[in-house]
Amino acid sequence: MDTDLITLTGLRVHGRHGVFDFERDAGQDFIVDVSLRTSTALAAATDDLKHTVDYGALADSLAEIVAGDPVDLIETLAERLAAACLALNGVDSVQVTVHKPQAPINQRFADVAVTIERSAP
C-alpha cells in the first residue's frame, strides 16, 4: 500500500502547560507540527474528502487538546496529540512536534521543542 504524508505546521494555540504555577496561571502559546502517514490514493482517485484526513477538523481537534487540561510536560502533551492523530481513520503513523518558544529558560534561545513519532498498533 502506498503511504503519503499529510503535514500541518505552525498551529499556534494558547495553553496552560508547564511545571511552574506562573505557567499555569498566565499560559503561553504553543506551536504544533504534525505529519501523518496515510494513503491518499483513494481520495485522489475519487476527489472525495471522506477518503482522507480533513485537516481543518484535525487542526480543531489538536487545538482543543492544547487549550484543554494542562500537563506538566510537553512530552505528555505530544503523546496526547499523537494519540488523537492515530485515532483518525487510515493514519498509520504520526510525527508530532510541540514547540514551547516562551519556555522559562534563563538563557536566550529561539525555541525549545519535543518531537515524538508513534505508529498505530
Find the catalytic residue in 57, 93, 100, 106: 100
Q: Specify whether the CB–CB gap between 32 and 99 falls below 8 A.
A: yes
* Nearest to 4, CA basis, from 32, 34, 50, 35: 35
50 is catalytic: no
Catalytic residues: 100
